[in-house]
Structure 1
Amino acid sequence: MPGQALPPPCTFLNVGQAYTGTQNVSSSQKDEAWKVNVRLQGCDIQHGYLCGSMEALNVPSAETPVVTFWEGEIVDNKNYTFFTGQWDATTETDVKHWSKFPSFLPLKEEVQKDGGRSLDLANYPYIFMQRWKEKFFVNVGTDCGLTIAGFYYVCFTRSNGIVNGYYYDPNSSPFQKLELKATNEGRSGHSFATYQFQ
């Protein structure tokens, strides 16, 4: 069936791959960016699933870096489409967030017409991952001053491992931007703690 081909393997989407960058959490009152590290803990392209840890380093309300565990869905027309269908996200919310990515715009009309699907994602130079959804705090309690009620819309560039995302939570500042780059961690000596989940 057309549109069911899975994305080809990508060297930047492997278990253990680390990314580093920032999340802009600016609001009308203040301009603020947190340093963020992400590590992939699991990646199953066949089922459109991935998971990992996210570490926010300079969170003003927390005494230590805040680490969360998240799960994500790869938009592949087989397992998941561009439409979320949960967590208070309407199709309008989805289209508005996806449209922030220039790489989505050529697909927009087709996605809106075809119920969240686009035919040619297998060979597209970007992988869209939605619902990087933080599931729980790893090293702090829920009273750390942060919420994990929302989720991220993510666009991943296959050629260089750059990750761009937008956080969606109706009760948080809109369009908080996540910008990450794949690191050569392990080869360059740069590292951050690895966490084991029970």
Structure 2
Amino acid sequence: LAVLIRGQEANAVQPSPPSCSLLTAGRCFAGTQNVSSLQKDEAWKVNVRIHGCDIEQGYLCGTMEALNVPLADTPVVTFWEGEIVDAKNYTFFTGKWEASAEDDVRHWSKFPSFTPLLSQIEADGGKSVDLSNYPYIFMRWKEQYFVNVGV
């Protein structure tokens, strides 16, 4: 799951890597998760809560509650761990979960804010991209387990 958060403090003086009040424990976000397969195309309403974040290590974790999952009587809650794309700890290339570089570029290209970075990503894999003052935070989340199964 690739995620993008738009920062609101683009003019603030920040250390590298940038501090971010958007990614602190307890912060909540609401949105949709687009689910697509050969048989369906759905958008689930989701609520996300950040439980932990280590900007220096490029790590974060939290829970995601999906509200309108077909065939589920109650919201589905999962725990996820994430990687913040910072060119120091993690680049735009996943390098695991059977994701190819082409898959990653195709996926990140769905975000208009990725487009200005594309040529530099293709040139060196994004290792020299300076995201410290970029007004967006790119991250990938991997759901680890269900929280409320059997409850």
TM superposition score category, shorter chain reference: 0.7 to 0.9
Instruction: Give the Cα–Cα distance (whole angstroms) in 1 for the partners of residues 125 and 41 of structure 2.
Output: 37
Tell me the residue number matched to 1:21.
Answer: 31
Distance of 1:57 and 1:105 partners within structure 2: 31
Residue 73 (1) aligns with residue 86 (2): no
Residues 6, 122 of structure 1: 8 Å contact kept: yes
RMSD, aligned CA: 1.7
Take 2:37 and 2:102, find their aligned partners in 1: how far apart are those partners? Answer: 22
What displacement does 1:27 show? 5.0
| Structure 1 residue runs without a partner (length 5+) | 142-198
Compare relative contact order (CA 8 Å, sep 6+) and give the higher one, 1 or 2.
Answer: 2
**Post-superposition offset of 1:31:** 4.8
1:64 matched residue in structure 2? 74
SS of the residue 1:33 aligns to: strand
Name the residue aligned to 2:125: 115
Aligned with residue 58 of structure 2, among 27, 31, 48: 48
* 1:77–1:28 CA distance, 2 compared to 1 (3 A): closer
What is the total number of aligned residue pairs between the two structures? 136
Which one is further off, 97-106 or 114-123?
114-123
Deviations 1:51-87 (A, max 9, x none): 0000011111212111000000011111111110111
Identity across matched positions, percent: 71
Deviation at 1:28, TM superposition (A): 6.0
- Asked if structure 1 preserves the Cα contact closer than 8 Å seen for 2:64 and 2:80, the reply is yes
- Once the two structures are superposed, the pairs formed by residues 88-167 of structure 1 within 5 Å of their partners are 88-130=98-140, 132-140=141-149
Tell me if the contact between 2:87 and 2:130 (Cα under 8 Å) persists in the aligned partners.
no
TM-score, length basis structure 2: 0.82
1:6–1:76 CA contact under 8 A, matched in 2: no
Match of 2:48 in 1: 38
Letter in 1 for 2:112: P
More helix by share: 2
Distance (Å, rounded) in 2 between the aligned partners of 1:120 and 1:17: 26
Amino acid at match of 1:51: C
Unaligned runs of 5+ in 2: 1-14
